[in-house]
Every structure is written in C-alpha cells, then in structure tokens.
Amino acid sequence: MTDWLTATILALAGVAAVVGIVLLVRDEPAQDRTFVVLGVVEVAVLVQLVVGAVSLSQTDRDVSGVLFVSYLVGNLLVLPIGAFWSLAERTRAGTGVLLVAVVTVIALQLRLETIWDGSGA
C-alpha cells in the first residue's frame, strides 16, 4: 500500500480524534469547522480508494482483492454516515458518534495494511 497516504490519513484522523476528544471534554457540540476537519480526512480517504484500486490492479502480490476493495469502500462510507447520524443530535452524544467514526477509520487503515501485506481475512 502507499505508505505516505496511509500515514497522512492516520495523521489527519489523529487530529480529528483530538478535536473530537476536546469537544467531548468541554461538552461542546460539533462545530462547522469540526466537519471541515472531517471533510479533509474524507478527501484523503477518497484519494486512497482511487490509489488503492490502481495499486491493486498493478500489484502481483497475493492480496485478497474483494476484501481489500470492500475495506476501501467501507473506509469511504464511515465518515459520511457517522456525520449524518451525529447531525440529528448536536450534543455530546453526536460528538461521540463522530469520534467513533474517526476511530473506525483509523482501525480500517491498520486492517488495510494487514490485508495488503497478504495476511488474509
């Protein structure tokens, strides 16, 4: 996998997670700028979907294609669904949902690395 891209996403998601934790501690609802941060992460994840799909088509590694692509797509869906679900309730709970979504993206990044390294399901 493209290491710099994974590193970038992990760093951006890390920033988003810190923002989420600060909001949670202060008991403030998610701000517009919170969603901007999430948007940046989402753009990076979108780039990863494209780059990942291209890398998959060019690699001769033993990567489980279905699994890899499904993780890439899942990765892309987590934040929008989380954001949508949190918007119905702009409270601490809504912020909590955003934080869980960001942590999920981080977890999926680590799983993507494992899958790319060929250690299957």
Partner 1 sequence: MRELSSGPGRILVFVYGVFAVAATGRSLVQLGSDADRAPLAYTLSLVAAVIYLVATTCLLLGGRRAWVVAVGSCVVELLGVLSVGTLSYVDTELFPDKTVWSHFGQGYGFLPLVLPFLGLVWLRATRPDATS
Distance CA 118, CA 114 (A): 7
- 47-86 footprint of partner 1 as x/- string (CB under 8 A): -----------------x-xx--x---x---x--xx--xx
> Residue 27 Cβ, how far from partner 1 at the closest point, in Å?
13
Distance CA 28, CA 50 (A): 35
Q: Are 100 and 20 in contact (CB under 8 A)?
A: no
Total number of residues that touch partner 1 (CB under 8 A): 22
Q: Are 45 and 9 in contact (CB under 8 A)?
A: yes
Residues that bind partner 1 (CB under 8 A): 64, 66-67, 70, 74, 78, 81-82, 85-86, 88-89, 91, 93-94, 96-97, 100-101, 104, 107, 121
